[in-house]
């Protein structure tokens, strides 16, 4: 793959062959060297060949090989002439992360940390196929799919302020539950309020460093503060939505004569009935994921108060923000000096709205949207904020996390004969987990160092570092 360096943090795949636009990779020299091995750069070039794509096919520094689109990929398509690909959004629709702040410090919980970890592990179901305490009839499930976080709060799971601090207020209004298959609905009935497995987690952390004191104050962050981070998505329901629509689009594309460099990029025109049906079903899965994370945050609040024997006022646990990683949304952006309606696809990428942009709470408009960037179990995570540069260059997008360095198979091989739990505890991180194989797949070495990833997006100016968090206890599937 021929690459041209544009500056220390930007590399270009020139527009050649069937590419309609160039590819832009946000990374540094060491990141580019590693990327030459896994095929994800070819996926960027493949995305650049899709009809209706605008400006460039982009990839963030946490890029790695995905299904069709690379994970860490960003692309915008003209709303009238572009396509939508389920593989572009991914199987875990609205896999996302939320960060809650508290009034507590590390010293306040040190002696009770093991008890907190145990209680959270019991209260928030985790693991492959896990089911939750919220069991739904089909009619109730359809309300979840239409209302998202609003349904959860109306049922007593959290508060109104949580909704305001969730991307899109926790609901995409084009959701149409009647578009989902019976299999998708069945898979969603019993998994609400569950963490799942794989890279999903619940983490108690502490604010270790502050880089931007003004923005940190606006976000309610302070040195030594205890935080809670949740990472989960739409569970089996979202997986089924993707699977159903991929299968249908593969059949349609095969008959259409549309050239695709990879069958995994099966797609439909956004304005076609098939494209609109996918977007309506995808919105259902996105709303399910927001409700899922909302319910888990409510349980976390309860566990903290019960375990520490403190009041809501003493805990003061507030949602800083909830961002989604795998989603396609209708947005308006400036393109070549003119406003243009586009469909922005972020797969393993986070929305990063800059200052004075509507769509985020008023107090954040002074500094930019909060961005939650999780790392691995043993190192760190970051809070960033959106910038004007992101609005100009990346359709308001940035990285979503560390990005895998090893495949799950390679990670398990590297972890053979080791006790990952003991290794993490020596670093001061308690771990509670359901599956031993999952723990090996998610070991710190399986991921890039998130500090290196964040340094690139900060250096490129597409987001700005606000604070660094260190894990204290982690719940895994």
Catalytic machinery residues: 400
The answer to whether the CB of 220 falls within 8 A of the CB of 467 is no
Q: Which of 83, 32, 94, 76 has its CA nearest to residue 391? A: 76
Q: Give the dihedral sign, CA 15/19/24/25.
A: negative
First to last CA, the chain: 37
The answer to whether the CB of 180 falls within 8 A of the CB of 440 is no
* Chain Cα centroid distance, residue 368: 18
- CA–CA gap between residue 346 and residue 71 (Å, rounded): 9
Strand duo 23-26 + 53-64: pairing: parallel
Q: Name the helix (H) or strand (E) containing 314.
A: helix 312-315
3-class SS at 84? strand
* Chain Cα centroid distance, residue 452: 18
3-class SS at 398? strand
The answer to whether the CB of 49 falls within 8 A of the CB of 72 is no
- CA–CA gap between residue 26 and residue 13 (Å, rounded): 11
Phi-psi region of 79 (alpha: psi -120 to 50; beta: other; left: phi over 0): alpha
- CA–CA gap between residue 10 and residue 271 (Å, rounded): 33
Strand duo 318-324 + 397-399: pairing: unpaired
């Amino acid at each position: 793959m021929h690459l041209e360096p544009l500056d220390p943090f930007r590399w270009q795949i020139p527009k050649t062959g069937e590419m309609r636009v160039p590819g832009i990779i946000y990374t540094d020299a060491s990141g580019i060297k590693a990327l030459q091995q896994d095929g994800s750069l070819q996926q960027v070039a493949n995305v650049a060949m899709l009809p209706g794509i605008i400006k460039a096919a982009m990839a963030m520094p946490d890029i790695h090989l995905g299904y069709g689109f690379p994970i860490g990929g960003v692309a915008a398509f003209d709303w009238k002439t572009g396509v939508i690909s389920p593989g572009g959004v991914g199987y875990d629709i609205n896999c996302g992360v939320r960060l809650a702040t508290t009034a507590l410090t590390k010293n306040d919980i040190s002696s009770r940390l093991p008890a907190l970890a145990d209680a959270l592990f019991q209260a928030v179901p985790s693991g492959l196929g896990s089911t939750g305490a919220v069991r739904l009839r089909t009619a109730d499930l359809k309300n979840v799919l239409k209302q998202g976080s609003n349904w959860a709060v109306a049922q007593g799971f959290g508060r109104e302020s949580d909704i305001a601090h969730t991307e899109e207020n926790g609901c995409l209004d084009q959701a149409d539950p009647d578009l989902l298959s019976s299999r998708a609905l069945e898979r969603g009935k019993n998994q609400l309020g569950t963490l799942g497995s794989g890279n999903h987690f619940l983490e108690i952390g502490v604010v270790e460093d502050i880089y931007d004191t003004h923005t940190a104050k606006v976000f309610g962050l302070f040195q030594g503060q205890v935080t809670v981070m949740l990472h989960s998505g739409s569970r089996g329901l979202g997986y089924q939505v993707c699977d159903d629509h991929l299968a249908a689009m593969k059949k349609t594309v095969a008959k259409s004569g549309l050239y695709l460099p990879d069958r995994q990029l099966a797609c439909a025109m956004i304005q076609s009935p098939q494209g609109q049906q996918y977007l309506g079903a995808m919105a259902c899965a996105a709303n399910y994921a927001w409700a899922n994370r909302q319910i888990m945050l409510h349980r976390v609040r309860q566990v903290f108060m019960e375990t520490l024997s403190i009041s809501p006022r003493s805990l003061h646990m507030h949602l800083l923000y909830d961002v989604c990683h795998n989603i396609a949304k209708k947005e308006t952006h400036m393109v070549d000096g003119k406003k243009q309606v586009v469909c922005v696809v972020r797969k393993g990428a986070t929305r990063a709205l800059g200052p004075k942009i509507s769509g985020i709470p008023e107090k954040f408009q002074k500094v930019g949207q909060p961005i939650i960037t999780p790392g691995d179990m043993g190192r760190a995570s970051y809070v960033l904020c959106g910038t004007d540069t992101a609005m100009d260059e990346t359709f308001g997008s940035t990285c979503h996390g560390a990005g895998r360095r090893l495949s799950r198979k390679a990670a398990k091989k590297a972890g053979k004969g080791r006790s990952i739990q003991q290794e993490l505890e020596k670093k001061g991180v308690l771990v509670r987990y359901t599956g031993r194989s999952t723990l090996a797949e998610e070991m710190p070495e399986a991921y890039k160092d998130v500090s290196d990833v964040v340094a690139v997006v900060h250096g490129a100016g597409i987001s700005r570092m606000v604070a660094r968090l260190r894990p204290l206890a982690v719940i895994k599937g």
